[in-house]
């Protein structure tokens, strides 16, 4: 075994957080940074062409391709859990939806003895990270690496969905990432000039020439190395050669909600009894590692379309070829969008302070990964609860980093989660029944008009519910006397020195929306913590709150 030279900071995982940290830390020429990625470079057209995002989800070339254990409340189905294994991580294979979550999500974190993670503290880092195409205001940024664009909504079905929401009595919003999340409106995406704008493109590619930054791809991190209780480096395997890499200042784990807890446990940080079962020497007995797993589950309410205006035509081979050629030549057309151009956030009942259901609208009837499309023209709303009360876990199956861990989400494990999903189906049907859809509305394809009772809807969700691919929470942030916490307010792992976790796994509770933008924000904020920079000034911007939310649902 040979030893590679030392670095000040060693970052494990070149994903949504890792690329951000590589950029911000190496901006200081006095420190050296190594970024390690298990997967390859992001050279595939299917990564960079926005409408092709289903392709990397279809196999394990750029994807860890995880599956859960049989889910007890989902007809014992094993649920698909893709995670990026490529430069850019999951930001290179996701649906590119830019959603920050709700202000109260972060205030909830702050209220759990984590005051520096309030919305007012986090908003400046959302702004720092982005360049929104409509420019700067008190909520939005215009000079960050991450380009954010609005969906053009040229297909009339998008505007029909937004108008139907208004006709059903819900508000509309001009910016669901600004003052007002609640309501129906245009969605935003991480694209730029018709291309996916992953963190690899936004943060890493422009600074690869920095002399103090090294990037290793196709490199598996086997374990974190310790001297006593201090992390001093990592053991990696590249091209069948195993090396030790030394970290003079810190090891920073950015593997995500599945890989980060697995790496910690393999390295001796976790529930001592579980580690001993695999003959892993215990460095720190932290029972919260791998626990608190949360995700968003969603179903599709699908309708047949009476006019031939949906994306069904685009699935024909000759049309696919034409779309692909137009994108290759000009980065325009149907290839330049993720097609999630309209969406919404609503509250399912009175007495709920912030939206708890999210919509992604798609002018086609198809599954998220593209594997199953309806025969004929259709449209659909993806909908599901934002803050599920079910909790799962990630546990080791062996001490080998090559073996996938056991993943158990426990979707729909509580009556509250089932109640919210029933409401999601019924409220969505109400939206679809509005006059705005009258020129387009055919029969209901799913769940189907025969699915009406609570029991019927529960059975449909068990059989057809799918993950929105937003796992988080498995290295929970919390104070030292919280037995379930893994990292502190500065994202340092409890009980050891020189080790932080910075990715979606640190979320104490899931945010109300997609997780890519919040993960980038977390990394931006963490970079200042690591470098000892003065935090950005606290924002004074105030979020929208529905009037009389205690007594009315809309």
Which helix or strand (DSSP H or E) is residue 441 part of?
strand 441-446
| pLDDT (tens place) for every residue of the chain, 554 residues total | 455 689 999 999 999 999 999 999 999 999 999 999 999 999 999 999 999 999 999 999 999 999 999 999 999 999 999 999 999 999 999 999 999 999 999 999 999 999 999 999 999 999 999 999 999 999 999 999 999 999 899 999 999 999 999 999 999 999 999 999 999 999 999 999 999 999 999 999 999 999 999 999 999 999 999 999 999 999 999 999 999 999 999 999 999 999 999 999 999 999 999 999 999 999 999 999 999 999 999 999 999 999 999 999 998 999 999 999 999 999 999 999 999 999 999 999 999 999 999 999 999 988 655 565 678 999 999 999 999 999 999 999 999 999 999 999 999 999 999 999 999 999 999 999 999 999 999 999 999 999 999 999 999 999 999 999 999 999 999 999 999 999 999 999 999 999 999 999 999 999 999 999 999 999 999 999 999 999 999 999 999 999 999 999 99
φ and ψ of 20, to 5 deg = -60, -45
pLDDT at residue 383, rounded to an integer: 98
- Do residues 431 and 381 lie in contact, with contact meaning Cβ atoms separated by under 8 Å? yes
| 3-state SS, residue 436 | helix
Token representation of residue 74: 């989902």
| 3-state SS, residue 232 | strand
Token representation of residue 474: 């498995």
Residue 48 designated active-site: no
DSSP symbols for 43-112: --HHHHSGGGTTTTTSSSSSB--EEPSPBTTTTTBPPEE--B-STTGGGGTS--B-----HHHHHHHHTT
**Domain 1-70+81-149+188-289+482-540, architecture per CATH:** 3-Layer(bba) Sandwich (3.50)
Token representation of residue 553: 């649902």
pLDDT at residue 1, rounded to an integer: 46
Q: How many CA atoms lie within 13 A of 484 on its CB side?
A: 14
Give the chain's length: 554
472 forms beta bridges with 294
d(Cα 287, Cα 291) in Å, to the nearest integer? Answer: 8
d(Cα 425, Cα 299) in Å, to the nearest integer? Answer: 8
Among 408, 437, 477, which Cα is nearest to 67's? 408
d(Cα 517, Cα 536) in Å, to the nearest integer? Answer: 18
pLDDT at residue 366, rounded to an integer: 82
φ and ψ of 218, to 5 deg = 50, 40
Per-residue pLDDT of 360-403, as tens digits, reads 999 998 865 556 567 899 999 999 999 999 999 999 999 999 99
Among 277, 293, 294, 274, which Cα is nearest to 285's? 274
Per-residue pLDDT of 413-430, as tens digits, reads 999 999 999 999 999 999
For residue 304, whether the previous peptide bond is cis, meaning omega lies within 30 degrees of 0, is no
d(Cα 551, Cα 554) in Å, to the nearest integer? Answer: 9
Q: What angle do CA 250, 252, 253 make, to 5 degrees?
A: 150
> Where are any strands of DSSP class E within 254-388?
269-270, 284-285, 297-305, 342-346, 357-362, 378-385
| Separate counts of helices (H) and strands (E) for the chain | 12, 26
Among 242, 247, 373, which Cα is nearest to 302's? 373
- Do residues 129 and 520 lie in contact, with contact meaning Cβ atoms separated by under 8 Å? yes
Domain 152-186+297-385+412-464 in CATH 3.40.50.300: no
- Residue spans of the domains in the chain: they are 1-70+81-149+188-289+482-540, 152-186+297-385+412-464
d(Cα 257, Cα 276) in Å, to the nearest integer? Answer: 23
d(Cα 489, Cα 487) in Å, to the nearest integer? Answer: 7
Token representation of residue 483: 């037995």
216 forms beta bridges with 36
How do strand 241-253 and strand 7-12 relate by DSSP bridges? parallel
Of the candidates 48, 186, 470, 494, the residue annotated as catalytic is 470
Among 418, 520, 435, which Cα is nearest to 198's? 520
d(Cα 159, Cα 333) in Å, to the nearest integer? Answer: 19
CA distances from 297 to 237, 430, 537 (A): 35, 21, 36
How do strand 441-446 and strand 297-305 relate by DSSP bridges? antiparallel
pLDDT at residue 367, rounded to an integer: 67
- Do residues 281 and 385 lie in contact, with contact meaning Cβ atoms separated by under 8 Å? no
Query: Reading across the β-sheet that carries 146-150, which strands appear in turn?
Result: 130-132, 146-150, 188-189
pLDDT at residue 369, rounded to an integer: 57
Predicted model pTM? 0.97
Token representation of residue 422: 């029933």
Long-range contacts made by residues 323-326, C-beta under 8 angstroms, separation at least 24? 323/51, 324/49
């Amino acid at each position: 075994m040979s030893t590679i030279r030392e670095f000040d900071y060693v970052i494990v995982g070149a994903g949504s957080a890792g690329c951000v940290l590589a950029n911000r830390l190496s901006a200081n020429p006095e420190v050296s940074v190594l970024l390690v990625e298990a997967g390859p470079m992001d050279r595939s057209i299917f990564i960079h062409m926005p409408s092709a995002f289903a392709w990397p989800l279809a196999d394990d070339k750029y994807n860890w391709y995880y599956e859960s254990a049989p889910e007890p409340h989902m007809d014992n189905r094993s649920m698909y859990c893709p995670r990026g294994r490529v430069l850019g991580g999951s930001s290179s294979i996701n649906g590119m939806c830019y959603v920050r979550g709700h202000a109260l999500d972060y205030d909830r974190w702050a209220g759990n003895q984590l005051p520096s993670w309030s919305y007012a503290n986090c908003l400046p880092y959302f702004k720092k990270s982005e360049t929104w195409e409509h420019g700067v205001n008190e909520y939005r940024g215009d000079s960050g690496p991450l380009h954010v664009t609005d969906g053009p909504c040229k297909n009339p079905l998008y505007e029909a969905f937004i108008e139907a929401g208004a006709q059903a009595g819900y508000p509309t919003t001009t910016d669901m990432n600004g003052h007002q999340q609640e309501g129906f409106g245009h969605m935003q995406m991480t694209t730029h000039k018709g291309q996916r704008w992953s963190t690899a493109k936004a943060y890493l590619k422009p600074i690869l020439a920095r002399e103090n930054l090294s990037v290793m791809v196709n490199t598996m991190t086997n374990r974190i190395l310790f001297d006593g209780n201090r992390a001093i480096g990592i053991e990696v395997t590249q091209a069948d050669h195993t090396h030790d890499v030394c970290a003079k200042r810190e090891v920073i784990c950015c593997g995500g909600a599945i890989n980060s807890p697995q790496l910690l446990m393999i390295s001796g940080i976790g529930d001592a009894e579980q580690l001993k079962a695999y003959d892993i020497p215990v460095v720190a007995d932290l029972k919260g590692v791998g626990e608190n797993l949360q995700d968003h589950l969603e179903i599709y309410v699908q309708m047949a379309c009476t006019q031939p205006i949906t994306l069904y035509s685009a699935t024909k081979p000759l049309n696919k070829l034409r779309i692909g050629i137009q994108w290759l030549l000009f980065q325009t057309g149907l290839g330049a969008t993720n097609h999630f151009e309209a969406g919404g956030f609503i509250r399912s009942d009175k007495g709920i302070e912030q939206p708890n259901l999210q919509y992604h609208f798609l002018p086609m009837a198809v599954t998220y990964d593209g594997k199953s499309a309806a025969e004929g023209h259709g449209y659909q709303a993806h909908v599901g609860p934002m803050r599920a009360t079910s909790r799962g876990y990630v546990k080791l199956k062996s001490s080998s980093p090559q073996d996938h861990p056991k993943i158990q989400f426990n979707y729909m494990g509580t009556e509250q989660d089932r109640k919210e999903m029933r409401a999601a189906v019924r409220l969505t049907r109400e939206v679809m029944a509005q006059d705005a859809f009258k020129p387009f509305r055919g029969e209901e394809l799913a769940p189907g008009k025969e699915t009406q009772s609570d029991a019927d809807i529960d059975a449909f969700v068990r059989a057809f519910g799918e993950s929105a691919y937003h796992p988080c929470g498995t290295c929970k942030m919390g104070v030292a006397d919280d037995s379930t916490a893994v990292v502190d307010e500065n994202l340092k792992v409890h009980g050891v020195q020189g080790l932080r976790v910075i990715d979606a796994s640190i979320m104490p509770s899931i945010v109300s929306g997609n997780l890519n933008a919040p993960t980038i924000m977390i990394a931006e904020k963490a970079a200042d913590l690591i470098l000892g920079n003065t935090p950005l000034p606290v924002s004074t911007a105030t979020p929208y709150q529905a009037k009389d939310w205690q007594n009315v649902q809309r």
